[in-house]
Amino acid sequence: MTATTGRRLLLVHAHPDDESIGNGATMARYAAEGARVTLVTCTLGEGGEVIPPELAHLTADRDDTLGAYRIGELTEAMSALGVSDFRFLGGPGRYRDSGMMGVPENDVPGCFWQADVDEAAGHLVAVVREVRPQVLVTYDPDGGYGHPDHIQAHRVAMRAYELAADPAHRPELGPAWRIAKVYWNRMPCSVIEAGLAEAAAKASFPGVAQPADVPGVVDDEVVTTVLDGAAQAGRKTAAMTAHATQITVDGAFFALSNDLAQPLFTTEYYQLVRGQAGPGEPEDDLFAGLAPDAAPAEEGTR
CB of residue 149 to Zn ion, shortest distance in Å: 6
Identity at 141, one-letter amino acid code: P
Choices 16-24, 52-60, 255-263, 275-283 (CB under 5 A): range interacting with Zn ion: 16-24
Residue 150, annotated as binding a ligand: yes
**How many residues belong to the site for Zn ion (CB under 5 A)?**
3
252 alpha carbon, distance to own chain's centre: 20
Q: Are 156 and 89 in contact (CB under 8 A)?
A: yes
A 10 A CB-CB count for 259 gives 13
Q: Does residue 140 touch Zn ion according to CB under 5 A?
A: no
Helix (H) or strand (E) run with residue 233 in it = helix 233-242
The amino acid sitting at 241 is: T
Query: Is residue 147 marked as binding?
Result: no
The binder of Zn ion chosen from 7, 9, 18, 188 (CB under 5 A): 18
Binding span for Zn ion by CB under 5 A among 12-20, 110-118, 243-251, 292-300:
12-20
DSSP 217: E
CB nearer to Zn ion: pick between 18 and 268: 18
**Residues with Cβ within 8 Å of residue 203, at least 6 apart in sequence:** 250, 253, 255, 261
- Give CA separation, 58 vs 13, 19, 116, 269, in Å: 22, 22, 28, 33
User: Would you say 228 and 236 are in contact if contact means Cβ atoms under 8 Å apart?
Assistant: no
State in angstroms the smallest separation of the CB of 154 from Zn ion.
Answer: 12
Q: Least separation, in Å, of the C-beta of 302 and Zn ion?
A: 26
Interface pick for Zn ion out of 14, 50, 264, 297 (rule CB under 5 A): 14
Minimum CB separation of residue 292 from Zn ion in Å reads: 34
Q: Select from 10-18, 52-60, 79-87, 160-168 the region that touches Zn ion (CB under 5 A).
A: 10-18
- In the bound state with Zn ion, the residue whose beta carbon lies nearer, of 81 and 151, is 151
Residue 15 as a binder of Zn ion (CB under 5 A): the answer is yes
The region of 9-17, 33-41, 160-168, 255-263 touching Zn ion under the rule CB under 5 A is 9-17
Q: Per CB under 5 A, does 214 bind Zn ion?
A: no
Report whether 44 contacts 96 (CB < 8 A): yes
Stretch that binds Zn ion, among 14-22, 49-57, 102-110, 260-268 (CB under 5 A): 14-22
What b/e sequence results for 83-112 when a residue is b if at least 16 CB atoms lie within 10 Å of its CB, and e otherwise?
Answer: bebbbbbbebebbbbbbeeeeebbeeeebb
Binding mask 255-274 toward Zn ion (x if CB under 5 A, else -) reads: --------------------
Quote the CA–CA distance of 51 and 274 in Å, as a whole number.
38
Rounded CA gap, 119 and 11, in Å?
19
Which residue ranges are tagged as binding site for Zn(2+)? 15, 18, 150
Which residues does the annotation place in the binding site? 15, 18, 150
**Which residue ranges make up the site for Zn ion (CB under 5 A)?**
14-15, 18
